[in-house]
Structures are given as structure tokens and as C-alpha cells.
Amino acid sequence: MNYAKLEAEILAEIEWRVKELTVLKTLPIKRTLNLKEKNIAIKFAIPNIYSTWEGFVKVAFRIYINELNSLSLKHNEINSKILSHNFDTKYPQLTTGVKNEFKSKCKFVDDFISDLTRPISLETKLPTESNVNWKVLNKILERFNLDLFPENPFKQILNNLLFIRNSVAHGDNSIPINQQLIDDNVTFVINLMDETMYRILDGCKTTKYRK
């Protein structure tokens, strides 16, 4: 696996997102905005901060998956967690069951065996469940055999960011959003992106993707 390429691509994703987060952080305090514009900038800062974070998770793991696919690993070479994740994603029949038709069962068996007899091509779809909170983030990391985030301090802060984002998105204006809250969450998400990258790079460096 090309460690340098992987690092450069993820860093590039972090870099432009940090610039956008800086804009979100400083926009409400620009003197050129009137009061109404400032209130709008403050109100929608948290949803935008969260979407920046969720987008990063999806892209960072897509980059990692592409690097894994470039290795052309076979089923007996790749970590069983990653292999299981791939089949769980690619074959929902493993959860829902195959249609009770012999023809459908034959096709499933043919496809499944075919996947086992050639290099594994991982799906890029992730189980984000539309909400990348602490639990979902660790679920993704576990599926790729990467180090998990400890509960303290990540769980409460990340879950709170998601809670505020959902509240604003659903029209709930009861949660006070101020500049300090925006600043804190920007700092947190930047740190979270860095920490996620370190876990991916560690997985590459220590070949945690191998059996």
C-alpha cells in the first residue's frame, strides 16, 4: 500500500475542510453582516460543521478502500472483519435472507463463490446510518480493524454536535447557539479529522488490513 499517497490524499481533504470551517467560524463576526445575516450565519453554522465532518468520514474511508483494493488481496489474505464488512454490505441477503426461489439461491451462491475466488474488491458504501455519531464512527473503525475512539471525551461532544444539527434541521430553535459553541465545535471537528486520519494511517502502516 502506498502510505505516502494515502496520507497526502487524506491531508488534502482535511486542508480544504479546515479552510471552510474557518469561514464558518469567522463569518458571524464579520462587520459587513447585518444582524439578520449574523443570526442566520450562527444558526446554520452547526449543521454545516457537522456536514463537513460527515463528508470527511465518507471520503477518507473511500480513499482508504481504494488503496486496499489496489493491493488485490484474496479472501485468505484480508482481515476477517474487513471481509465480513464487505460481504455484509454487498450481500444484504446475509441479513434479510435469500428469496425463497431456487434460481435466486443459485445466483447468490455463484456470486458469493466468485467473490471468494478472485481478489477482493471492497464496496465503498459505509454504514453511516445518516448520523456519524460516536457509536457509528466506532462501528466503521471496527469493521476496518482500526483503533476505536474512547468514550471520553469524544462520545458526548460528537453526539451533542449531532443533536444540535438535527434540532436545527428539524426547525427547533430552542437550543441557544453562540460564537463559543461554534468555536468549540470547529476545534473539535478539526481534531476529530486528524485523529481519524491517524487511525487510518496506522492501519496502513501496521497492516491491520491483513489476516
Cα–Cα separations (whole angstroms), residue 89 to 44, 82, 99, 121, 144: 33, 11, 17, 12, 13
Q: pLDDT tens across 104-159, in order?
A: 788 888 888 888 889 999 999 898 877 899 999 999 999 999 999 999 999 999 99
Q: Residues of 122-153 as b/e, b for ≥16 C-beta within 10 angstroms?
A: beeebebeeebbbebbbbbbebbbbbebeeee
HSE-CB for 58 with a 13 A CA cutoff: 13
Contacts of residue 18, Cβ cutoff 8 Å, sequence gap at least 6:
190, 193
Between 105 and 182, residue with greater pLDDT: 182
Q: pLDDT tens across 17-62, in order?
A: 999 999 999 998 887 888 888 888 998 999 999 999 999 999 999 9
| Whether the predicted pLDDT of 160 surpasses 90 | yes
Neighbours of 172 (CB within 10 A): 10
Please name the amino acid found at residue 117.
Answer: T
Sole residue written with cell 486496499: 68
Share of the chain above pLDDT 90, in %: 70
User: Band of the pLDDT at 175, cuts 50, 70, 90?
Assistant: confident
Q: pLDDT tens across 139-151, in order?
A: 999 999 999 999 9
Please name the amino acid found at residue 169.
Answer: A
